[in-house]
Amino acid sequence: MAVPEDESWLDDDAGRLVRPYTVSNGRTRPTNKLDLLSMVMATGRLPQAHLDPDHAQALDLCHNPTSVVEVAAHLRLPAVVTKVLLSDLVDCGAVTTRDPSPAADPTDRFVLEALLDGLQRRL
C-alpha cells in the first residue's frame, strides 16, 4: 500500500506516529557526550549522506546556538533520542557543540525555573 507523500507523521491529537526508537534506529547512546544544556550550532557544512527528516529538522533548529533540551522540545522527542540525532550531526561535521557555561549550575533552582518557563512559552 503506497503512502501519500503529503501524509504527516504527526497527528495533532495522538502525537508522533513513529516511535522514538525508530528515529534513532534503535540506538540509545549518543557517540558524543552531550548535556541537556550543551549548546549546538550548525557549522554550515552539509553532510555527504542524505539526512533523514528528523536529522534535517534538528539541523534547521541549530542555525543559532541552541541547547539540546530546546531541540528536543521542538522535535517533541525524548532527550536521549535527540542526543543521538545531534551526535550523528556532530559526527558528520554538520554541527558543533559547546559545554554549558560553568556559571550555569544545572542544579541551580533559578536556572531550572528559567528553563522551564522558556519551554512552557514555546509549547
- % of the chain residues with pLDDT over 70: 72
Query: Where exactly are the structural domains of the chain?
Result: 10-122
The pLDDT value recorded for residue 2 is 43
Place of cell 519551554: 119
Spatial neighbors of 68 by CB under 8 A, at least 6 apart, are 34, 35, 36, 37, 38, 40, 79, 82, 83, 86
Mean pLDDT of 79-108: 84
Q: What is the pTM of this model?
A: 0.65
Q: How confident is the model at residue 120 (pLDDT cuts 50, 70, 90)?
A: confident
Q: 30 to each of 20, 39, 69, 91, 113, how far by Cα in Å?
A: 14, 15, 15, 10, 27
The pLDDT value recorded for residue 3 is 44
pLDDT tens, residue by residue, 16-25: 555 555 565 6
